[in-house]
């Protein structure tokens, strides 16, 4: 759906730019939203004033994703789906040998920001306003892109060195992880992959891939699994599954690769928790690589019902958060209280997996009066539900 081009022109005008600056200044001087809106409506139409206020709100929200957010343009849905700049520049390194690239379903340009650096980039989206915003957002980072508002199926991907695509997963307004509900549709994506095998496809972490001979990378940032990317052709290092954690500069801290997906299966259970407890990064969990990681690092799982790993050796790897066990006991409130008093705990962090939420709420009410900090991990084990009091080991992140 194309939107009114005049509204886009207004947002890009000098008058709107001045208004954005004044709104920021007024907010810094303590004016509330009602006062700011009244001031805007003295100079602009109600629709224009609303546009400015909406963009101001979205720019504030976007700060966690984009360092240039105050001069960028956003739409609510596209901002929620947008790749942040850290991951964008990380992904762009795979395209270093590609000179002509097209970013399909570009949204407001999260991925385009990184892809536009040092190459000829074409950005495509069906919505004129969306692709116009993406062009401006790329320019905010000092790069350029060729905008095209059309159906991505009209683009001949074979004429480019590689393509990036982020299929729309909210066609009916609800987010879906199933490829059957994507736009472009599954069969259309397959046709694109045959026309040009050099592609990167952004997927939700929970989406099950259907394309063969791809590298699946689960990208973790800020202790979250942000996205799954299918790398194909010259963009792939090798077929298999990878979990990668990034630092705040977009550099990979740690990466774990498993060529054979089936090697994640198998029993690595232990009969007891050992000196160290490991909480796997969400990207390792999403990639279903917990067992493979544990096997390679001589770690065991506490139970089938939890992804916590345990072992006698300390592992410094950002794909697992390490905790050193102090003491454990049955997950009983009175016993846990005695355990906290015994070890002089005054500040307690609670972590759980495989335990009901109401258990977490109940234990969060325990008052600690000691002087030390500790973490209580609540999880099922081979001996039943236990509380494991631990010291958090500093993470490589």
Residues above pLDDT 70, as percent of the chain? 93
Question: Within this chain, do residues 43 and 112 fall inside the same structural domain, yes or no?
Answer: no
- What pLDDT was estimated at residue 360? 85
Higher pLDDT, 261 or 64: 64
Question: Within this chain, do residues 51 and 138 fall inside the same structural domain, yes or no?
Answer: no
Question: Within this chain, do residues 14 and 47 fall inside the same structural domain, yes or no?
Answer: yes
- What pLDDT was estimated at residue 386? 92
Sign of the dihedral defined by the CA atoms of residues 217, 222, 224, 226, in that order: negative
Question: Within this chain, do residues 197 and 155 fall inside the same structural domain, yes or no?
Answer: yes
Question: Within this chain, do residues 60 and 83 fall inside the same structural domain, yes or no?
Answer: no
Question: Within this chain, do residues 13 and 121 fall inside the same structural domain, yes or no?
Answer: no
Q: What is the mean pLDDT of residues 81-100?
A: 97
Q: Flag whether pLDDT at 134 surpasses 70.
A: yes
- Which residue's structure tokens are 């759906």? 1
- What pLDDT was estimated at residue 30? 87
Q: Flag whether pLDDT at 177 surpasses 50.
A: no
Q: What is the mean pLDDT of residues 243-247?
A: 97
- What pLDDT was estimated at residue 304? 84
Q: Is position 367 within any domain? A: yes
pLDDT tens digit sequence for 187-220? 999 999 999 999 999 999 998 878 888 999 999 9
Domain end: 210, 226, 258, which one?
A: 258
Please give the residue range of the domain that contains residue 40: 5-64
Helices 33-43 and 14-28 cross at an angle (nearest 10°) of 150
Question: Within this chain, do residues 48 and 135 fall inside the same structural domain, yes or no?
Answer: no
Q: Is position 304 within any domain? A: yes
Q: What is the mean pLDDT of residues 98-104?
A: 98
What is the DSSP code (8-state) at residue 84?
A: P
Question: Within this chain, do residues 219 and 285 fall inside the same structural domain, yes or no?
Answer: no
Q: What is the mean pLDDT of residues 346-371?
A: 89
Question: Within this chain, do residues 96 and 183 fall inside the same structural domain, yes or no?
Answer: yes
Q: How many structural domains are present in the chain?
A: 3
CB 138 within 8 A of CB 158: no
Question: Within this chain, do residues 21 and 89 fall inside the same structural domain, yes or no?
Answer: no
- Which residue's structure tokens are 């407890």? 277
CB 165 within 8 A of CB 133: no
Domain end: 216, 232, 258, which one?
A: 258
Question: Within this chain, do residues 21 and 100 fall inside the same structural domain, yes or no?
Answer: no
Q: Is position 268 within any domain? A: no
CB 390 within 8 A of CB 344: no
Q: Is the pTM here over 0.75, yes or no?
A: yes
Q: What is the mean pLDDT of residues 155-182?
A: 73
Question: Within this chain, do residues 215 and 322 fall inside the same structural domain, yes or no?
Answer: no
């Amino acid at each position: 759906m194309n939107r009114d081009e005049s509204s886009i022109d207004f947002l890009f005008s000098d008058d709107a730019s001045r208004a954005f600056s004044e709104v920021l200044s007024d907010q810094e001087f303590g004016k509330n939203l009602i006062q700011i809106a009244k001031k805007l409506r003295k100079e602009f139409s109600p629709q224009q004033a609303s546009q400015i206020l909406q963009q101001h709100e979205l720019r504030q929200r976007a700060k966690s994703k984009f360092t240039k957010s105050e001069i960028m343009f956003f739409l609510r849905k596209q901002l929620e789906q947008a790749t942040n700049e850290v991951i964008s520049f990380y992904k762009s390194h795979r395209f270093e040998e590609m000179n002509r690239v097209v970013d399909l379903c570009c949204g407001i340009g999260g991925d385009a920001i990184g892809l536009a650096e040092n190459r000829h980039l074409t950005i495509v989206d069906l919505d004129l306003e969306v692709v116009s915003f993406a062009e401006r957002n790329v320019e905010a980072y000092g790069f350029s892109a060729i905008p095209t508002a059309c159906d991505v199926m009209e683009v001949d991907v074979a004429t480019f060195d590689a393509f990036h695509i982020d299929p729309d997963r909210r066609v009916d307004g609800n987010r879906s992880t199933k490829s059957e509900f994507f736009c472009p549709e599954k069969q259309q994506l397959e046709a694109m992959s045959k026309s040009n095998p050099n592609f990167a496809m952004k997927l939700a972490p929970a989406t099950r891939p259907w394309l063969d001979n791809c590298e699946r990378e689960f990208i973790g940032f800020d202790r979250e699994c942000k996205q799954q990317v299918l790398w194909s052709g010259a963009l792939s290092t090798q077929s298999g599954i990878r979990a990668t954690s990034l630092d705040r500069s977009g550099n990979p801290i740690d990466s774990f690769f498993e060529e054979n997906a089936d090697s994640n299966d198998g029993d690595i259970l232990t009969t007891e928790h050992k000196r160290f407890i490991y909480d796997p990064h969400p990207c390792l969990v999403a990639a279903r690589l917990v067992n493979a990681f544990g096997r390679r690092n001589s770690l065991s799982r506490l139970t089938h019902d939890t992804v916590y790993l345990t072992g006698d050796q300390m592992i410094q790897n950002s794909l697992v958060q390490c905790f050193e066990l102090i003491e454990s006991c049955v997950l009983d409130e009175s016993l846990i209280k005695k355990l906290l008093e015994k070890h002089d705990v005054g500040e307690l962090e609670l972590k759980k997996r495989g335990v009901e939420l109401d258990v977490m709420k109940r234990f969060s009410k325990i008052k600690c009066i000691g002087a030390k900090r500790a973490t209580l991990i609540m999880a099922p084990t081979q001996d039943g539900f236990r509380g494991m009091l631990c010291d958090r080991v500093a993470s490589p992140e």
